[in-house]
Amino acid sequence: MFDEDTTDAELVAAAAAGSELAFRALFRAYVRPVFWIAYGLLSDRADAEDVAQETFSTAWRKLNGFELAGESALPWLATICRNVSANRIRARRRERQHTGGMVDERQPDTVSVEQQVIDADLADRIAREVDGMSETDRRIFALCITEGYAYAAAAAELGVSHGAVRNRLSRIRTQLRSVVREEA
């Protein structure tokens, strides 16, 4: 029903109308980036996995009446993820204070709104860059970057050689690094 040509806006609208399949497609598309955002904030794999799950639970509850502003659902999910992560950080601090543990002052108890805007803008620019790639490059990006496929598995899925996937992915990463460098 939903394929790689289905837009995030269509998936969000279908999910808001109650389609679990549409929401699963959003989950599969963005669970890895959401996990890595959480991991970057929390530096703990188990907490990042919990936050990623909670992010999608929260997104499911907030779908009703939500309209996607851009082409990608990632900025919206990243914002939810940051808020859930900030809650987790505050809970860690409270727990340490009540158990007499040392409080890690390096962990912020809030997440900067300015940083959220910068990160959302960067995610939008990356999504636009990926949207401008060839169909094969978009599929390689989706399989290897988003879904974590190994080169050989992606090559088998796409019916191309291992070397083709490796070379194209190298070019894709270089192209995306230039988008990231523009931010700096």
The pLDDT of residue 116 is 57
Lowest-confidence region among 60-69, 79-88, 111-120: 111-120
Q: Is residue 117 part of a domain?
A: no
Would 120 be classed as within a structural domain? no
Q: Average pLDDT, whole number, for the chain?
A: 81
pLDDT value at 44 more than 60: yes
DSSP string, 62-77: H-TT---SSS-SHHHH
Are residue 138 and residue 84 in the same domain, yes or no?
no
**What average pLDDT does this structure show over 151-161?**
87
Residues 163 and 105 in one domain: no
Q: What is the pLDDT of residues 109-130, one digit of tens each?
A: 555 555 555 566 677 777 788 8
Q: Is 125 a member of any domain?
A: no
Distances (CA, A) of 56 to 23, 34, 51, 65, 82: 9, 9, 9, 16, 12
Specify which of 66-70, 77-81, 95-99, 174-178 reaches the highest per-range mean pLDDT: 77-81
Tokens 């809030």 locate to 110
118 falls within a domain: no
